[in-house]
Chains A and B, each alone.
Chain A
Amino acid sequence: MIWLETLIQGILLGGLYALFAAGLSLVFGIMRLVNLAHGDLIVVGAYMILIIVSILGINPFVATFIAAPGMFALGWLLQRFVLNRTLGDDILPPLLVTFGLSIALQNALLEGFSADSQRINAGALETASIPVGSLSIGIMPLLTFATAILVIFGLNQIIFRTALGRAFRATSDDPITASLMGIRPSSVFAIVTGLAMLVAIIAALYLGMRASFDPSIGPVRLIYAFEAVIIGGLGSLWGTLLGGIIIGVAQTFGAAINPEWQILAGHLAFLAVLLLRPRGLLPRAVD
C-alpha cells in the first residue's frame, strides 16, 4: 500500500516537472533552442506573482492571470531581440547567451529580493486532501497534475489545430521555405517563446505554492525539466509529460528508500533512459 501511495505521489510530482518542462519542450521542439535560463525565468514568474499577491492582496490564481501578459511580453522581447540572433547551426551561441542570462537573472533577483526563501500563500488549498480508498491524496498535487494535462492539451490544440500552429511546425521544418509562404520566422519564434513564458508563469504559480523558492533554485528546476524533455523525445509534449512522470516516480521511490537518494534516483533514471533510448521515448521530430 505504501508503494502504491509512493507511485501516485511520484506520478503527481511528474505533473509539476512536466509544467516546468512544457515551455522548454515547445521552444526546443520548434527552434532547437536550448534555453538554459528557463528555470530562472520560472523563478522570475514566481516573484511576479508574489509581488502582485502582496500588493493587491488577491488570490494567487488571479495574480497569475494578471502577470501572464507581462510574461508573454518578456518572452516575446527576449526572443525577438536577443535569442533570434543566436539561432543557427552552431549550438554554442544560444547555450552561452542563455547561460549568461541565467546568471544575470539569478543575481538580479538576489539584488532585488535577497536570498531569503519565499512562498506564495495558497491558504487552505495547501493542506487539503481527498481520501481515495484507504489513501489520501493532496489537492495541490492533483491540481498541479490536472493543470499539466490541460496545458499540454491546450498547447497541442494550438500546434495541431490552428493556422498559427501550422506556421510553428512549418517554420520548424524549414524556415526558408516557410518565409516563402509569407511567414516571418523571427516573429513566429517570438510568439513561441511568448507562449512558453505563459506556460512558465503557470509553472511558477505551482512552484511558489507548493514549496518555498529563492533566486538560486532555477538551474535545478531546469535540469529536471530538461530531463523530462529529453526522456520524452524532441517535439512531443505528451512525451514530456511522460518524462516528467518518470523523473517524479524515480524521485519518490528513491526518497522512500533513503531521503538523501531522491534527486540522485531521478538523475539515474534519466541516464538510464538515455543509455537505452538516446532519442527519447516518444520522439516526433528528427534532429
Chain B
Amino acid sequence: MGVGHIKVGTASSRFAAWIASGFILVAIFLPFVAGRSLLQDLFFIFSMLVLTQWWNLLAGYGGLVSVGQQAFVGIGAYAMFGSVILGNVDPVVSILIAGFAAFVLSVPTAFLAFRLHGAYFAIGTWVIAEVMRLGVAQWKAVGGGTGTSLPRSATRDMWFVDGISVLFDVKTSAARDILAYWLSLFLMVTTIAVIYWFLRTRRGLALFAVRDNSQAAQSVGINDFISKLIVYFMAAFGTGLAGGLIYLQKARISPDSAFSVLDWTAYVIFIVVIGGIGTLEGPIVGVLVFFLLQSLLSDFGSWYLMTLGVIGIAVMLFAPKGLWGLFTERTGMELFPTRRQLVIPEKET
C-alpha cells in the first residue's frame, strides 16, 4: 500500500471487543449464580442503557435534542398492555408490538417535529408526548387516567417462564425476573451493536460530517436530513421496545408514569451528559454513575434529585464532554471507534 489506508479499529478497541464478548458470556450465565435483586438491578441498568443510547444517538450524533422520548416509552408500554389485555397476545411477543407501535406513531410525529429546529424541536417533542399522555388517559379499556395492571393469568402463562422455572427450580415470579433480565441483556447488546453499525454506514458518517463541520459538509453536498429521519425512527422503535419491556417487568401502568418526562427523559439526559454525550461509551459510564448515585442517595429523596440536577449543570459547564470525555482526553483511548483514521505507512528504509 503506497498511499495509506483508512483504519477504524484501534488496539484498545480490539481489547474492548474481547472484554465485551467475555462480559456478554458472563451476563448470559449470571442467573445461575446471581440472586434476584442483582438481576433486578441489572435489568434496570440495561434498560436505562437502551434508552440512553437511543437518546444519545438522537441528540449527540443527530443534533435532535428531544425532550419527548417518554412518548415512545409510553406508547410502547401501552401497546404492550393493550395487546396483552385486549388481544390476549403473549407478553414476550407484545414487546415487539410495542416497538412497532412506537415506530408507527413516530411517522406522524416526525412529520410535525421535523418542521421544527433546535429549541422548537425540543419543546415540540415535549408537547407531542404530553398530547399522547392525555390521549392515552382517555383510553378506558386500559384503565384511563388511573391505569391498570397486567392480568395475572397473562404473566403466569408467559412464554419461557415455565421452562425457566423448571430449569432453575424457582417460583414463577423469580423466573419472570430471569426472563426479563435476559430480554434486557439481549435488547441492550443489540441496541449498542445496531447503533455502532449504523454510525459506520454512509448515512451514519453523514451525521458526523454535519455535526463536526456543518458548513464544510454542506459545501460538499452532504445532506443529513435522511440520516436524521432514520435515526429518529430507529430511536422510536428501540425506545418503544424498551418501554414495553420495562412495563412488562413493572406489570402496572398509568399514563403519568409511562409518559413521565422525569423518568424517561430527564434521567436519560443526565446520564448521557454525565457520561459523555456523542460517544457510545459515555452512556455506559453515565448509567453506572447514575445507578451508584441512586443506590447511595435515593433514600434522601429530593436531596438526591437536587444533587443530580446540580451535577448535571456542573458537568455541562465545566466538562461538557462528560466523564468519558475527560478520560479519553487523558488517555486517547476509544473503545468503540467510529471515526476514520488515516494511516500513512512509514517509509520503508
Direct contact of A and B (CB under 8 A): yes
Binding site for B on A (CB under 8 A): 28, 32, 34, 36, 82, 85-86, 91-93, 95-97, 99-108, 110-111, 219, 223, 226-227, 230, 260, 263-264, 267-268, 270-271, 274-275, 278, 287
A204: min CB distance to chain B, Å: 21
Query: In the complex, what residues of B have CB within 8 A of residue A103's CB?
Result: 262, 266, 305-306, 308-309, 312
B225: min CB distance to chain A, Å: 16
8 Å CB contacts to A: which residues of B120-150? 120, 122-124, 126-128, 130-131, 134-135, 137-138, 145
Q: Once bound together, how far apart are the Cα atoms of A97 and B301, in whole Å?
A: 21
Q: Does B269 sit at the interface, judged by CB under 8 A?
A: yes
B303 to chain A: closest residue by CB: A111
Q: Once bound together, how far apart are the Cα atoms of A260 and B308, in whole Å?
A: 34
Beyond A227-B127, A271-B128, whether A93 also contacts B316 by CB under 8 A is yes
Q: Does B59 sit at the interface, judged by CB under 8 A?
A: yes
- Apart from A91-B65, A223-B127, what 14 extra A-B contacts exist at CB < 8 Å? A86-B316, A91-B122, A95-B119, A95-B122, A99-B67, A103-B266, A103-B305, A104-B305, A104-B310, A107-B305, A110-B301, A227-B123, A227-B127, A274-B116
Q: Does B313 sit at the interface, judged by CB under 8 A?
A: yes
Interface pair B115/A102, CB less than 8 Å apart: no
Q: Does B317 sit at the interface, judged by CB under 8 A?
A: yes
Query: In the complex, what residues of B have CB within 8 A of residue A275's CB?
Result: 112, 115
Query: In the complex, what residues of A have CB within 8 A of residue B306's CB?
Result: 103-104, 107-108, 111
Q: Once bound together, how far apart are the Cα atoms of A99 and B312, in whole Å?
A: 9
Q: Does B320 sit at the interface, judged by CB under 8 A?
A: yes
Interface pair B316/A100, CB less than 8 Å apart: yes
Beyond A101-B309, A110-B302, A275-B115, whether A96 also contacts B316 by CB under 8 A is yes
Q: Does B75 sit at the interface, judged by CB under 8 A?
A: no
Q: Once bound together, how far apart are the Cα atoms of A103 and B303, in whole Å?
A: 11
Query: In the complex, what residues of B have CB within 8 A of residue A271's CB?
Result: 112, 124, 127-128, 131
Binding site for A on B (CB under 8 A): 59, 65, 67, 112, 115-120, 122-124, 126-128, 130-131, 134-135, 137-138, 145, 261-262, 266, 269-270, 273, 277, 301-303, 305-306, 308-313, 316-317, 320
Query: In the complex, what residues of A have CB within 8 A of residue B65's CB?
Result: 91-92, 95
Q: Once bound together, how far apart are the Cα atoms of A96 and B286, in whole Å?
A: 15
Beyond A107-B305, A275-B112, whether A270 also contacts B310 by CB under 8 A is no
Q: Once bound together, how far apart are the Cα atoms of A74 and B112, in whole Å?
A: 36
Query: In the complex, what residues of A have CB within 8 A of residue B277's CB?
Result: 92
Beyond A82-B317, A270-B127, A271-B128, whether A100 also contacts B310 by CB under 8 A is yes
19 A-B residue pairs with CB within 8 Å: A82-B317, A95-B122, A96-B269, A96-B316, A97-B312, A100-B309, A104-B306, A104-B310, A110-B301, A111-B306, A227-B127, A260-B137, A263-B134, A267-B130, A270-B127, A271-B124, A271-B131, A274-B112, A278-B115
Q: Once bound together, how far apart are the Cα atoms of A170 and B257, in whole Å?
A: 45
Query: In the complex, what residues of A have CB within 8 A of residue B302's CB?
Result: 107-108, 110-111
Interface pair A102/B309, CB less than 8 Å apart: yes
Beyond A110-B302, A227-B127, whether A82 also contacts B115 by CB under 8 A is no
Q: Once bound together, how far apart are the Cα atoms of A275 and B112, in whole Å?
A: 6
Query: In the complex, what residues of A have CB within 8 A of residue B135's CB?
Result: 264
B255: min CB distance to chain A, Å: 12
B131: min CB distance to chain A, Å: 5
